Structures are given as structure tokens and as C-alpha cells.
Amino acid sequence: MRHGQVLGLVGTNGIEKSTTLKVLVGKLKPNLGCFINLPDWQEFLTYLRGYALQNYFTHILESNLKVLDQKDERDIKAELCVDIELNQVIDRNVGDLSRGELQRFEIAVVAIKNAAIYMFDEPSSYLDVKQRLKGKGIYIISHPLN
């Protein structure tokens, strides 16, 4: 992953897209095909030598890069609420939202945070066709990894 690029992970059900995202955020360590003597993170980084992902995982593991920083805001809430049609439900309790409204709310909660990488697992789930085709409102920003 490079600055200014968007990476999409698509495929049919059951091919482990969600598992891949867990690996990319450092919550799940790949076993590199070893099922008895599981490799540690250093072995995994050595395995990635020469690939762009080595630098990415080094930063993730050293905590120099946070997937989601819950303290810093990007000052885009008003614009985002218009783009993904949240203004009409902004005063409702979260528990009263439909699944589609809740999905858009969850996207907004992540997107207003200041983070180096934003990862959405099935962001269009529960959205109606109009919202899926609109293609607006999911702000993905990447920062240099150095």
C-alpha cells in the first residue's frame, strides 16, 4: 500500500477477505503454512523481505502506524453526514436505527477519525441500491509509511 492509493479486496463469499483484513491490522498472525511450530512476527517479517508489505507490517508492529486513532478528528462530520445521508437520523438513538442506517453510521464513526489507514469490511452491506451506486461518503486516505 502506497500513499494516495486505494486498495480493494473483493471476491466471493468464503475466501477469507475478513481474515485478510485481520492480518493487515495485526490482529491475526499468518502461520506461513506451518501448523505445528507457528512462526513469530519476526519470522513473518523476514518472510516478507523484499516486498512492500514488510515496511507496512514493521510499522504496524512497532505501533508507528495506527489503523484507527480514536482521539483525532478530521473535521468532516457535517460534510460526511450530507454525503452518506445521516442528517435525517442524526438525533435518533443508535438502537433505533435500521441496519442500513447503522451501517452508514458505523462508516461515519470510522471516517471522521484521523488515521493512516481505514479498513472497511463489507461497507455496502445493508445499504440500499441507490446508496451503493452513489459511491460517495467513504473517505479513504493513506499517508506515507516512512
Residues written for the chain: 146
Task: For residue 125, give every residue at least 6 positions away whose Cβ sits within 8 Å of its Cβ, in sequence order, or none.
Answer: 103
DSSP string, 91-131: TS-GGGS-HHHHHHHHHHHHHTB--S----SSTTTT--HHH
Alpha-carbon span 64 to 58, nearest angstrom: 9
**Where along the chain do its domains lie?**
77-134
pTM: 0.56
Q: Output the tens digit of pLDDT for each of the chain's 146 residues.
A: 566 666 777 788 888 888 888 888 777 889 999 999 999 989 999 999 998 888 888 877 776 544 454 443 787 888 888 888 888 888 887 778 888 888 888 888 778 777 777 778 778 888 887 777 775 444 443 344 44
